[in-house]
Amino acid sequence: MSSASSPVTAPASGRGYAPPGRLGRILSRNGPGYLFLLPWLIGFFGLTLGPALSSLYLSFTDYDLIQAPNWVGLANYVRIATADPKFNAAMHVTFLYVALSVPLKLMFALAVAMAFNRGIAGLPLYRAIFYLPSLLGSSVAIAVLWRQLFAADGLVNGMLAWFGFQGPSWISNPHYSLYTLVVLSVWQFGSPMIIFLAGLRQIPGDLYEAAEIDGASNWRKFWRITLPLLTPVIFFNFVVQTIDAFKAFTPAFIISEGTGGPINSTLFYTLYLYQEAFGFFRMGYASALAWILVIIISLFTAFAFLSSRYWVHYDE
């Protein structure tokens, strides 16, 4: 408005006002924000990024908790790749576990979600009850309970005996032990089930009505409408559950009492890693194992995302 407006200047005081540096300006402007962020920043840098980078360094050393780490270059990785039969066994068990437990769990979760989606009385109660195993599933207590259920003289065999069958010891027989853990994993279907249910609720009912008028059977509606429109949710559940399955530890640890037995049949990758780190104190070697798992999970996730453009349908 005024043509004689003066430019903004620093206040002229006799106290020698020193303009703050860039960092100082940012902190003074956003100080409270950073203060609220502080717990997370401490957690992220102190408990996640710091240990992760430290383990990356240790994976190139022979650190054993007692002596200072010595740089050994790629020796740990070379040994893993060429001279570690237990690594191969752990990979075999883990991949088999992932390949079986993830699809089975997702199929079971989807089936239950579809049953719930038909609109039954008392749905919130059933939803809570069915979700419960997911809350308890990875706990030590449930793994212990599972061991009791599937032991040679456990409840499962007791029930089979009523029908005249003599069941094996599910957890101490190498032919069955891994499958017992797969069943335990499938039992924890609550979390993907809730997400599937939310996804099913998002599919507009008139798509089914249009298909109904077209004479589509329930089976055709499922394959041509439900499944394609659920692919974003299937994709999410698939990625999350697969990562979880790669990282599974507690059930195998409890059921095999930390051995991964019988005959390495439940030697999950993380269990083997744990044995190397806290059984034999080969921290450098265990760190290398951990980074290989990170790479495997990253590759898998990247592949899942890249492939998603061909099979995941996003509306709008």
Which stretches of the chain bind other proteins, using CB under 8 A? Answer: 204, 206-207, 209-216, 220, 224-225, 228-229, 313, 315-316
Choice between 1 and 213, CB closer to other proteins: 213
Crossing angle of helices 123-136 and 85-117, rounded to 10°: 170
- Give me the numbers of helices (H) and strands (E) for the chain, helices first please: 15, 0
Query: Nearest to residue 126, comparing CAs of 188, 190, 201?
Result: 190
Choice between 48 and 217, CB closer to other proteins: 217
CB-side neighbour CA atoms (13 Å) of 33: 5
CB-side neighbour CA atoms (13 Å) of 270: 15
Residue type, 255: I
Choice between 153 and 315, CB closer to other proteins: 315
CB of residue 229 vs other proteins: minimum separation in angstroms?
Answer: 6
CB of residue 225 vs other proteins: minimum separation in angstroms?
Answer: 7
CB-side neighbour CA atoms (13 Å) of 222: 8
Instruction: At 49, give phi and psi (nearest 5°).
Output: -65, -45
CB of residue 233 vs other proteins: minimum separation in angstroms?
Answer: 13
Choice between 174 and 204, CB closer to other proteins: 204
Q: 264 in helix, strand or coil?
A: coil
CB of residue 168 vs other proteins: minimum separation in angstroms?
Answer: 46
Choice between 226 and 275, CB closer to other proteins: 226
Query: Nearest to residue 240, comparing CAs of 201, 273, 198, 193?
Result: 193
Choice between 231 and 250, CB closer to other proteins: 231
**Residues in CB range of 65: below 8 A, 6 or more apart:** 281, 283
CB of residue 100 vs other proteins: minimum separation in angstroms?
Answer: 29
Crossing angle of helices 50-58 and 283-311, rounded to 10°: 120
Contact 99, 246 (CB under 8 A): no
CB of residue 217 vs other proteins: minimum separation in angstroms?
Answer: 8
The C-alpha atoms of residue 130 and residue 145 are separated, in whole angstroms, by 18
Choice between 70 and 202, CB closer to other proteins: 202
Choice between 175 and 220, CB closer to other proteins: 220
CB of residue 202 vs other proteins: minimum separation in angstroms?
Answer: 11
Choice between 57 and 311, CB closer to other proteins: 311
CB of residue 221 vs other proteins: minimum separation in angstroms?
Answer: 10
Q: Which residue has the tokens 């439940």?
A: 266
The C-alpha atoms of residue 51 and residue 283 are separated, in whole angstroms, by 13
CB of residue 83 vs other proteins: minimum separation in angstroms?
Answer: 50
Give bridge partners of residue 75 from the DSSP assignment: none
Quote the Cα angle for 53-57-58, to 5°: 115
DSSP state of 47: I
